[in-house]
Amino acid sequence: MYTVLIVDDEFSARNLVKLVLDWESNGFEIIGEAKNGRDALEKCKTLHPDLVITDIQMPVIDGIEFIRQAQLNDNPPHFIILSCYESFSYAQQAIKLGVCDYLIKDLLTSELMQNTLKEVIPKLKAPGAALPAKTSATIVSHEFEEDFNKLKTIYPSQLALVERRLERLFAHLFTCNITAAQVEIHNLYYQNFSGIAQYNYLNYINSLLFNWILDECLKHKIDHQAVFQCSEIPSNILLNSKTPDEACASFCFWLDTLNNLLGERPKYSSRIQKVIDYLQENYCLNIGLSSITEHFNVHKVYLARTFKSETGTTLVDYLNTLRIQKAKLLLCISDYKINDIIYIVGYNNPQNFYTLFKKHVQCSPTEYRNHFMKNKMSVEIISKKK
């Protein structure tokens, strides 16, 4: 049986925690209560709880300072914050302190608390309490992918919108429309989630953006330090930003810098730009050169020649590249089976897809998905690949 200390200056809030579920049947015993941070510090020394559920805004010593001081003790407990406030600053400090979760009082349910405790139990079994979060230049996409999938079960409609925004973002990046891409990044950053869920969500978005920028640097032999303007990849950007706006602005700046380093992008004629826009919207359909020329009422040979002249690639190759890019995105952001992805991006022949994917990506779809999940891209790895 794991022991729990409840810390809140309001009796009704402490009572809410006690009554929200049957603690003993979930393997926990509430052994004490405290009205403020100072009282809680004393209770931690005498009761030695395994888990502390604490408010933030309290008299004498607030929740954040209480956690900070409690972690200086030998064998400190694990912590869950239960607050009335969905504050970026509070969540940021909680992450830095290694808090297990950040819950909102108004959203608290028996099911939510039960699920939270299930995730906390493995940490309680491990030796030693949670330590403050470490900052690192390593991007661990696998962890963020798991958090993103958990959010899908809590916010299904909101995350469906996010996935559509991600598709638009990578479509704009693919066509080098940096201004439109920056708009989508802003849209992605302003999704409303609660507490640490916001961090989990933004870290996943960050991992996708960081990896895309790094891939572009590798592809075009650009030193990533010139883009990030520092010697290490600033992947702990959320912990170092005062607000989400600041982190968002950083990505927009890096994209702009990368675009400038890549040089001026080609300006397409009105007709070819319309064809490109059409491909972006309809790549998932059974389209080809014949159907496209019919849609635009233009001669097949003329369109093929003009498209190749302006873009440097054939229309069919452009469409295949676009579809493979979409497939790569779905392999990263969804749990669709590969055979489903094949048809989602517009292919009717799986073998044709596998051949094209390997040609474009130099690995199979399964290998690509596994690589993304396990990817820990560091400055050293990038240097070796160069």
Higher pLDDT, 41 or 212: 41
Q: Select the CATH number that applies to the domain covering 2-125 from these four: 3.30.750.200, 3.40.50.2300, 3.20.20.140, 1.20.120.1810.
A: 3.40.50.2300
Percent of the chain with pLDDT over 70: 79
State the pLDDT at residue 379: 29
Backbone torsions φ then ψ of 359, nearest 5 degrees: -65, -40
Assign 385 a pLDDT band (cuts: 50, 70, 90). very low
Q: Inform me whether the pLDDT recorded for 376 exceeds 50.
A: no
pTM, two decimals, is: 0.48
For residue range 261-300, what is the model confidence (pLDDT) as tens digits?
A: 876 455 688 888 889 888 878 888 889 889 999 999 999 9
Q: Where are the domains of the chain?
A: 2-125, 139-265, 270-372
Higher pLDDT, 225 or 56: 56
What is the DSSP code (8-state) at residue 360? H
The DSSP result for 134-200, as a single string, is PP-S-EEHHHHHHHHHHHHHHSHHHHHHHHHHHHHHHHHHHTT-HHHHHHHHHHHHT----THHHHH
For residue range 300-346, what is the model confidence (pLDDT) as tens digits?
A: 999 999 999 888 889 999 899 888 878 887 776 667 889 999 998 99
For the residues 92-111, what does the mean pLDDT come to?
81
From CA 353, how far away is CA 345, in angstroms rounded?
10
Assign 384 a pLDDT band (cuts: 50, 70, 90). very low
- Domain 270-372: give its CATH code: 1.10.10.60
Show the tokens assigned to 316. 């069919």
The reply to whether 2-125 and 270-372 are identical in fold is: no
* CA dihedral sign of residues 322, 163, 190, 99: negative
For residue range 111-151, what is the model confidence (pLDDT) as tens digits?
A: 889 988 988 898 887 655 554 443 333 343 445 566 666 67
State the pLDDT at residue 252: 81
